[in-house]
Structure 1
Amino acid sequence: MSEISILITLAFIIFASPYIAKIIKIPTAPTEILLGILFGAIGLLQDNASFKVVADIGFYYLMFLAGTEVNLKVFITTKREILKKSILFLALLYVLSTIAIFTFDINKIFIIITPLISIGILSTLYKEYGKDEEWLNMAMIVGIIGEVVSIALLTVFSAYLKYGFGTGLFINLSALIGFLVVTTLIFNGLEILFWWYPSVKKILMPSYDKEEKDIRLSMALFCFVIAITIMLHLKVVIGAFIAGTFIPTFFEHKKDLPHKLSSFGFGFLVPIFFVYIGSTVNLEALLNIEILKNMILITIGMIIVRLIASTIFIKNLGSKGIILFGFSLSIPLTLLIATAAIGYETNYISKDLYYSFILASLFQAIVCMVFIKIVSALKLDKNSN
């Protein structure tokens, strides 16, 4: 009966969440988490091993989809000035976060959590604002670099909690570095192969075929790279993300492929992940003043450090642009949830702090999306200071 109630509830949420999101005027992903909290509280989404496995697959697929938004060749055409400012922006996030953590003597996990960047929700902004907004294109470039750094640090953090400072951590870091080096060599090798034999691309992914070879190859990459990361005892998210980057980087002729993959993911697997996360949150957490206070402080802190660091781009984007840029990079929904889950599962953070992070991920998405809509409607001179 437990699995039947979960399936029926998931069927309702997957179908109804976009309509409910439109009514309550918040993004679909936070709506799915809120529905998970609600239906979990009334006992329709009970703790279940199969439910968790499918939710994990949904998360890995979400990171895979995030990778499909990343064409690594974009860094070849991006101006050096922008790349330098992007790296400086990320460095400032970590410096400001570290200063704040030691100044106020709070849990060291915030050094990793506060600067987290994920382009999962960021990529959805293109659907509403288009691809001609300079602040959004700049945010995507910074977001790509930031997500890679965030995932790498999440992998290191997870290894530290598992092994501590010792041989195990050193072996895990060596495996991570080796994996990234080999991946880079594979990327370079494929670049040479496809340059000499461009027809190979069309063989692997024909422009038109009746057997969906493009999706089959994508799923094969997804499964294969994840299998490698599991063998190396690395975080699966980094493998899923890297697997996704192969698609736009080498098969740019398949412009509809990311959309096809995304339709399946956001229509089925990804909502299950968000609903599961919601089901792990006790409804009473919404009534706990301390948890709500932490949620607000986490949200404000993460937004403030980004707005301060965004001033680096004032000459490029203007005052309105850097506000939009800062808010758009303040929605690390998936990685914030993943980091909180790792901290809680390893007893590094308390259950109350875990709930605070989950609720903060929701609150950030709602607040930032609303502010972006308000600020984007304002008529400000781009060059005003």
Structure 2
Amino acid sequence: MDNTISIILTLSLLLWTSPFLAKFLRVPTPPVEIVLGSALAYLGILHENSYFDLIAEMGFLYLMFIAGMEVDLKQIIHSPRIILRKAAWFVMTLGALALLAGLLLQMNHIVIISLPLISIGLVASLSKIYGRKDPWLNLAILVGVMGEVASIATLTVLDAASTVGFGWELLFKILYLLLFLFAIYLGYRLLHLLFWWAPELKKKLMPSVDSSDQDVRLAIALFFIMISAMLALDLELALGAFIAGAAISAFFHHEKELESKLSSLGFGFLVPLFFIHVGSSFDLEALRYGGVVTGALTITAITILIRILAAFHLRKIYTRLDALMTAISLSMPLTLLIAVATIGFDSGAIDNLTYYTLILASLFEVIVAMLSIKALDQYRKHLRMKKRGTTNS
């Protein structure tokens, strides 16, 4: 009980002080929370606790939920075909480059799988920092959705393979996943038709003026319903949380304040606890093991490099700088990378050394990508100011 109390007090202080420290250091908050979590775990202040583990898992799922809300299905569906085609080429090229790099460097198959993973959970946190007005961020979300679906499908297959092996059972599991996704698509079309015939139903389910916060209640209810469905179907929970967020965005976009309400709860409470937990899960003693740091740096460099090369397809959509920022923003598959590393370690596909290497790489990727985006954003602002000065003169 005493340990639980000390953890609660420590997490409370970290939630409150980490934004101040991030502002002082002039870096985004998530890397600071990860580093603080790792440091305090090393000092023995933070340690494994069932309540901490549970709320961190909820923070991860909520982050995926918010990421789903960032997806505008109508905008994606009605995007010019050339953009959708180039986004698809980005994802396919990324997978091919990851496979090529992994085979050339003779990497473990789990490491190869981790290289092209894409998660837009942290892209959602970038939109909180930079807003959604910049074209590169909208492009990153569009490309990220395609990559996220492919990555979660890969994670689901990997999870199934680690339990049932490679055979007919795995094939049935893949077919099961495809049928589920098809059912979700049919459900989307049916609801779209229903709300088209009865548009007033939307406002009854989620009224614009409501003192009981019915909009938040419905969103959270859908969040837990989808998680329950994933548990019942034995599918990846992150997929359910992501679909729930995308459904809210697709059908209740008229409720403008809802996203702000849910984001405040997520980024002010649940998501930071997840980042702190990620940091605490990494043992700093592993830095002394030979090959962990160099291996993590190698994986980080390859992860970012193959995305920059794949962004060759995106360079003509807006500007080359936008394509570069899109590529780097998609270089933070933190949540999915940790999930893949955990599955690989639990199944015996990777050893302890490789596990720590992947975890450290996931932290390096977040820190390098966040700082690089901040630097590129400052550079872009400098170019704009310089252009304005030239125009005025």
TM-score under structure 1 normalisation? 0.94
Counterpart of 1:82 in structure 2 is 83
Aligned residues: 382
Counterpart of 1:178 in structure 2 is 179
Question: 2:73 aligned with 1:94, yes or no?
Answer: no
Counterpart of 1:134 in structure 2 is 135
Aligned counterparts of 2:376 and 2:240: Cα–Cα separation in 1: 36
AA aligned to 2:86 is: K
AA aligned to 1:42 is: L
Q: Report the alpha carbon displacement of residue 229 of structure 1 after superposing the two structures with TM.
A: 0.8
Aligned counterparts of 1:35 and 1:128: Cα–Cα separation in 2: 20
What's the CA shift string for 1:34-66, capped at 9, x where partnerless? Answer: 111111112222222222122212211111111
Q: Percent identity?
A: 44
Counterpart of 1:260 in structure 2 is 261
TM-score under structure 2 normalisation? 0.92
Q: How does 1:134-173 map to 2 (within 5 A)?
A: 134-173=135-174
Counterpart of 2:250 in structure 1 is 249
Q: Which runs of 5+ in 1 are unaligned?
A: none
3-state DSSP class of the match of 2:318? Answer: helix
Contact 2:216 2:258 (C-alpha < 8 Å) held by counterparts: yes
Deviates more, 1:224-233 or 1:360-369: 360-369
Counterpart of 1:284 in structure 2 is 285
What's the CA shift string for 1:164-211, capped at 9, x where partnerless? Answer: 113432332232122111111110110000000000000000001011
Contact 2:332 2:362 (C-alpha < 8 Å) held by counterparts: yes
Aligned counterparts of 2:281 and 2:132: Cα–Cα separation in 1: 36
Aligned counterparts of 1:57 and 1:135: Cα–Cα separation in 2: 29
Q: Report the alpha carbon displacement of residue 13 of structure 1 after superposing the two structures with TM.
A: 1.2
Counterpart of 1:8 in structure 2 is 9
Deviates more, 1:307-316 or 1:279-288: 279-288
3-state DSSP class of the match of 2:209? Answer: coil
Question: 2:337 aligned with 1:336, yes or no?
Answer: yes
3-state DSSP class of the match of 1:316? Answer: coil
Aligned counterparts of 2:278 and 2:23: Cα–Cα separation in 1: 21
Contact 1:94 1:111 (C-alpha < 8 Å) held by counterparts: no
Question: 2:205 aligned with 1:204, yes or no?
Answer: yes
Counterpart of 2:33 in structure 1 is 32
Deviates more, 1:282-291 or 1:102-111: 282-291
Q: Report the alpha carbon displacement of residue 373 of structure 1 after superposing the two structures with TM.
A: 2.7
What's the CA shift string for 1:279-319, capped at 9, x where partnerless? Answer: 22112123445111011101100111011111112222333
Q: Report the alpha carbon displacement of residue 79 of structure 1 after superposing the two structures with TM.
A: 0.3
What's the CA shift string for 1:346-366, capped at 9, x where partnerless? Answer: 332222222222222222222
3-state DSSP class of the match of 1:317? Answer: coil
Deviates more, 1:84-93 or 1:176-185: 176-185
Counterpart of 1:52 in structure 2 is 53
Contact 1:70 1:248 (C-alpha < 8 Å) held by counterparts: yes
Deviates more, 1:331-340 or 1:296-305: 331-340
Contact 2:117 2:337 (C-alpha < 8 Å) held by counterparts: yes
3-state DSSP class of the match of 1:109? Answer: helix
Aligned counterparts of 1:66 and 1:123: Cα–Cα separation in 2: 5
Counterpart of 2:371 in structure 1 is 370
Q: Report the alpha carbon displacement of residue 72 of structure 1 after superposing the two structures with TM.
A: 1.3
Counterpart of 2:44 in structure 1 is 43
Contact 1:215 1:257 (C-alpha < 8 Å) held by counterparts: yes
Counterpart of 2:68 in structure 1 is 67
3-state DSSP class of the match of 1:87? Answer: helix
AA aligned to 1:253 is: H
Aligned counterparts of 1:29 and 1:131: Cα–Cα separation in 2: 19
Q: Report the alpha carbon displacement of residue 325 of structure 1 after superposing the two structures with TM.
A: 2.1
3-state DSSP class of the match of 1:70? Answer: coil
Q: Which runs of 5+ in 2 are unaligned?
A: 388-393
AA aligned to 1:185 is: L
Q: How does 1:176-325 map to 2 (within 5 A)?
A: 176-325=177-326
Contact 1:138 1:325 (C-alpha < 8 Å) held by counterparts: yes
Over aligned residue pairs, what C-alpha RMSD do you find?
1.9
AA aligned to 1:96 is: L
Contact 2:66 2:124 (C-alpha < 8 Å) held by counterparts: no
Aligned counterparts of 1:258 and 1:267: Cα–Cα separation in 2: 13
Note closer, same or farther for the CA distance 1:256–1:14 as it changes in structure 2 (3 Å cut).
same
